[in-house]
Amino acid sequence: MARCFVTRELPGGALARLAAEHEVDVWPRRTPPPPDVLRERVAEAEGLLCLLTDRVDRGLLDGAPRLRVVSNLAVGADNVDVAAAAERGIPVGYTPEVLTETTADLAFALMLAVARRLPEGERAVRAGEWLTWEPGWLLGRDVHGATLAVIGAGRIGGAVARRAEAGFGMTVLRVGRGDDPRPALARADFVSLHVPLSPQTRGLVDDAFLAAMPPTAYLVNTARGAIVDQDALARALREGRIAGAALDVTDPEPLPPDHPLLAAPNLIVLPHLGSATHATRERMADLAVDNLLAGLVDKPLPHAFGSIPSP
């Protein structure tokens, strides 16, 4: 029986499966374990099941001589120093594919919400501002028949593109790795981001990127917060250089309530809900536990980090 540390309670029955075979220590709070607590809990662990909010760096790994496997409950592993783990022969697992359709649903929900001004309408009802049906009040933009630029040609980007074409009759412009996005941006009514976070994509959406979009276009981000230069986005929104933005991810997470970005107009921000359905989160937990169980008996991980495809 191995000792495992799990950095948060998980939905479904996956942790019960893990506890049936190994000693399991679960961090009980809603917020991540602080770095010093994480180091302390992992120091004697053989298995670690972590989340994208947990920084698994070289220092943490060096302080965990018994650690044999890291299982990350996420579609990627940008929070894990995979190279340092590989040097020690520690496999790193992740949870791919299961959140594709769920995240694509949310991307489309954000697109519809920002274009049709749904949060403003809901607030107006509660504030008593709904006087009657008015022909010129809270007018938004059509999504059907519009042009969508999908930045990132991976699974989630493809799922969003399918919804756009089949369900809404949209013209979809796909921008893959290495493509110049500017021609697509210039034609877009909506721009949806679906690239992984890397040195090449960090700050991708900067002043120049936003300047290439028409002032009537909307930006949607369900990928990673650091892909967007938030200062540049706030300026573009305040100055009316784009019509609006809808974000499920920010940098940092959570975004402090007094963060300057939140004062920008025509902005929706969600608390990273891309995969937040019962079925998807429970399936992610199952995959994470499957990876951990395999690694603890020295079997290949079902979903090991190697060359992670684009989300």
Q: Distance (Å, rounded) from C-alpha 144 to C-alpha 187?
A: 15
Pair 154, 183: CB distance under 8 Å: no
Q: Which of 68, 117, 155, 224 is catalytic?
A: 224
Q: Which of 68, 155, 272, 283 is catalytic?
A: 272
Question: Is 17 considered catalytic here?
Answer: no
Question: Is 224 considered catalytic here?
Answer: yes
Q: Distance (Å, rounded) from C-alpha 302 to C-alpha 107?
A: 28
Pair 168, 115: CB distance under 8 Å: no
Q: Which of 122, 165, 239, 253 is catalytic?
A: 253
Cis amide prior to 215 (ω within 30 degrees): no
Residue 14's H or E segment, with its range, is: helix 14-19
Pair 191, 173: CB distance under 8 Å: no
Q: Distance (Å, rounded) from C-alpha 116 to C-alpha 292?
A: 44
38-45 own/partner pairs: CB under 8 Å, 24+ apart = 38/7, 39/63, 41/5, 42/5, 42/67, 44/3, 45/3, 45/4, 45/5
Question: Is 44 considered catalytic here?
Answer: no
User: At what angle are helices 100-115 and 155-162 packed, to 10 degrees?
Assistant: 50
Pair 151, 194: CB distance under 8 Å: yes
Amino acid identity, position 243: A
Among 148, 198, 200, 210, which residue's Cα sits nearest to residue 175?
148
Residues noted as catalytic: 224, 253, 272
